[in-house]
Structure 1
């Protein structure tokens, strides 16, 4: 448990500048293949794998899927903290059958959509339900592709890969309501008080655990810190990040100067929000749909990301363009049973009459989720230019 205690060696590293993403201890190094037929095997039950990815490069990895479990294969791309990335740079992940059939939608994340060179993570999934593709057991390929680095850092970025499998659910056809249907305010409001001191981690592997309440940290420009919060089935997560004032006076305004992202236990993207910052107090808030309601495909990206109960990972960032030594931040965390928006009738019920899932113990959830491997973060709305070019490239690949 990392509550209020910095990871080993973190204090010394931060004294020299923003800390780089720290991969899992004992991770296995692999080299993704350039063709789809000979990708290295991401084995079940062997934890985390590492690789790197150059601009414009596409790499293939092999995963073995059974015929019953839903599969989540994730990639984390971690550029140098404080760096500058190209406007068309980012990663795209997908999961494919041997004949090229897509097992689900591919997911693109842009380095610049959040206003800085922050770690990105997301997964490609195979969800087992009636009519879904890739139902058969066998070898599948996980594909990670990077965009064009023109105008930014063209060095290879480290990758962290992981694979998580989940046994089938009783009712995969139930879909949660869209994020707008759920309350965006915690029942009792943000937790009061100045908060307890905590030192966020460099990534998923050393994220500091936060209980509901108020917590204080301090970030350098260009830095991203990670925190994890337990969210049970049927619960919503509410998080406010209150960025403090510059102690030295007025500083230039920075668009997307501060950021809060959220990823789920399997490192899938949930939400990403940014805010402007000019050395004056600024708040960025997140409110999620309830966790573990159903398949997730019908409720938008946030509902897809809230498919699982368990640990949810907050990423808090300060843009490298912010011109000050450090920015204080207070995190106010709350979890609560699912509630519909106060403007809509039927509080506590999902759209279409789906009842909230009863909360289960984290121990029960741990038995449900079988960790088999990974990769995997979050970004917000991508720059129109970057998305347009990425879409064009995707069409050319499919053509």
Structure 2
């Protein structure tokens, strides 16, 4: 490759000074561009979620909720969206449904970190047909652990063979309502919205729940603790299989995991906070543990107190995953309605920092998945994500995260991303060096 060299003539000292300034500006721009490019590389974006920040799903589309249902923007199935909601706000969105598929619209509400929350603060998500009949709704709030953290709720249109409500094709409206106490933080909440559809059945199946089901807690999983750090959002939740999983969690931080649970299987989750020598102060609601199904419908939650000694809590046992669970009147049973990824999130109360410092506390999650998988229901079409595949089991075994980023169990991908980030930074520094040398050389030769 030939390099074309140029010689500048007739340049003054002032011109050289101006050239140095211009080159410095161009170099700074090149370096800034390199840093920005490195920050956007896959596998590095998740770092922004550390320390308590929520990592929104990559590629989520901005949408603007309407104050009237007739002005609502349409959501597309399989897509994820983002919006914001004001204190005591109400927002409408539209979904178009046929007469066969079940539909789910879930909302993750993400309050601003460091704000104040009251007992009843939360969201309600509901779905209505064109006649304003409510098809399905769910509430989620902070409960007794009164500190801001991501919370989820969903609305559904379930085809019930024993009902004629919400069976027509056409426009349906999703209403998201934020409920806030008078003393609560008035700042806007971010919303992460998902619209998913589930195929109907070829023919109607059973709707009655078995009277007996195994509710006893199984023995702790064998094999000893293994290190696996959580994701910063549902889009990059770290995969787990049955086992004992060790991580660290900072005050105010939320860690998200996902576990594949097949048809007829049960999920049991226990959390333990390790001891701390720093203090023995009693903190109520020190850790909040929550379980969501694969479309982010809320299943259950619990909180634990902490006084510096080891503390343990377990989520309530739920029924085995079954299609007929959806017809139960109990919300937690109804949410165990299909196979797929189930999400476990843990948040450490920011108040822990006041007594125990801002350093992370040791956290262990013990996960049991019991029961033999059975055949899926006779869906009238591809089941899609409503099941567990061999790839899902492989991801759970290796610790691969969701589609957004790679974490502890996918070190190869993280390493490649790190190499890519370093390469971009080196290119930026190289550009800076060339521009600076050219400016210093004045009329001298310019390196190609």
Fold conserved between structures, TM > 0.5: yes
Matches within 5 A, 1:111-150: 111-130=142-161, 131-150=163-182
Moved more, 189-198 or 309-318: 189-198
Aligned with residue 335 of structure 1, among 363, 366, 369: 369
- Secondary structure at 1:275's aligned position in 2? strand
CA distance in 2, matches of 1:148, 1:312: 28
Query: Which whole-Å CA distance do the structure 1 matches of 2:48 and 2:167 have between them?
Result: 49
- Residue equivalent to 2:238: 208
What is aligned with 2:424?
none
For 1:228 and 1:167, the matched residues in 2 are separated by 23
Report what 2:193 is aligned to. Answer: 161
The match for 1:44 is: 77
Alpha-carbon deviation of 1:203?
1.4
**Structure-1 residue corresponding to 2:383:** 368
Q: Secondary structure at the match of 2:134?
A: coil
Q: Is contact 1:94–1:107 with CA below 8 Å preserved after alignment?
A: yes
Deviation at 1:215, TM superposition (A): 0.8
Please, which of 247, 252, 276 is the counterpart of residue 305 of structure 2?
A: 276
> In the TM superposition, what is the alpha-carbon distance from 1:244 to its structure 2 partner?
0.5
Q: CA distance change for structure 1 residues 132 and 214 in 2, over 3 Å: closer, same or farther? A: farther
- Tell me the number of residue pairs that the alignment of Structure 1 and Structure 2 aligns: 337
Q: Does 1:300 align with 2:330?
A: yes
Task: Select 1:224's aligned residue among 244, 250, 254.
Answer: 254
Structure having the higher helix fraction is 2
Q: Tell me the distance in 2 between the aligned counterparts of 1:90 and 1:261.
A: 14
Larger mean CA deviation between 226-235 and 211-220 belongs to 211-220
Rate the CA distance shift 1:294–1:301 in 2: closer, same or farther, 3 A: same
8 Å CA contact 2:325–2:335 kept in 1: the answer is no
Structure 1 residues 174-189: aligned runs within 5 Å: 174-176=207-209, 181-186=213-218, 189=219
**1:149, distance to aligned residue in structure 2 (A):** 4.2
Determine the C-alpha separation between the residues in 2 that align with 1:108 and 1:37.
24
Query: What SS does the corresponding residue of 2:300 show, helix, strand or coil?
Result: strand
Q: Is the 8 A contact 1:164 1:370 kept in 2?
A: no
1:33 and 2:66 equivalent? yes
Alpha-carbon deviation of 1:365?
12
Q: Does 1:358 align with 2:374?
A: yes
User: Which secondary structure state, in structure 1, belongs to the residue aligned with residue 334 of structure 2?
Assistant: helix
Structure 2 residue 229 is matched with structure 1 residue 199:
yes
For residues 223-272 of structure 1, the C-alpha deviation after alignment (integer angstroms, 9 at most, x for no partner) is 11100000000000011111111132x33211111121100000001110
User: Equivalences for 1:222-301 in 2 at 5 Å?
Assistant: 222-248=252-278, 250-286=279-315, 287-298=317-328, 300-301=330-331
Check conservation: 1:242, 1:331, Cα contact below 8 A. yes
Instruction: Please say which of residues 321-330 and 259-268 is displaced more in the overlay.
Output: 321-330
Q: 2:293·2:335 contact (CA, 8 Å) conserved in 1?
A: yes
The Cα of 1:295 is off from its aligned counterpart by 4.3
Secondary structure of the corresponding residue to residue 332 of structure 2? helix
* TM-score normalized by the length of structure 2: 0.70
Offset, 1:73: 0.9
Equivalence for 2:403: none
Q: Deviations over 1:105-160 (max 9, x none)?
A: x2211134433211111111111022141101101100001112421211010001
CA apart distance, 1:11: 5.0
**1:44-66 Cα distance to aligned partner (Å, 9 max, x none):** 24x10000001111000000111
Give 4+ residue runs of structure 1 displaced > 4 Å after superposition.
9-13
Distance 1:184 1:78, change over 3 A: farther
Is the contact made by 2:46 and 2:55 (CA closer than 8 Å) also made in structure 1?
Answer: no
Are residues 275 and 370 of structure 1, via their aligned partners in 2, closer, same or farther at CA, if it must alter by over 3 Å?
closer
The unaligned stretches of length 5 or more in structure 2 are 1-41, 387-448
SS of 2:235's equivalent? coil
The 1:171–1:336 alpha-carbon spacing in structure 2 relative to 1, beyond 3 Å, is farther
How has the CA–CA distance of structure 1 residues 61 and 11 changed in structure 2, closer, same or farther, with 3 Å as cutoff?
A: closer
SS of 2:289's equivalent in the other structure is: strand
Select the residue among 102, 109, 129 that pairs with 2:140: 109
CA contact (8 A) 1:176 1:296 kept: no
Contact 2:117 2:146 in 1 (8 A): no
**Residue 19 (structure 1) shift:** 2.6
For the structure 1 residues 88 and 28, does the alpha-carbon distance in structure 2 shift closer, same or farther, using more than 3 Å as the test?
same
Does structure 1 residue 8 correspond to structure 2 residue 38?
A: no
Partner Cα distance (1:327, 1:263) in 2: 24
Partner residue of 2:414? none
Residue in structure 2 matched with residue 69 of structure 1 by the alignment: 101
SS at match of 1:303: helix
Tell me which residue corresponds to 2:54: 21
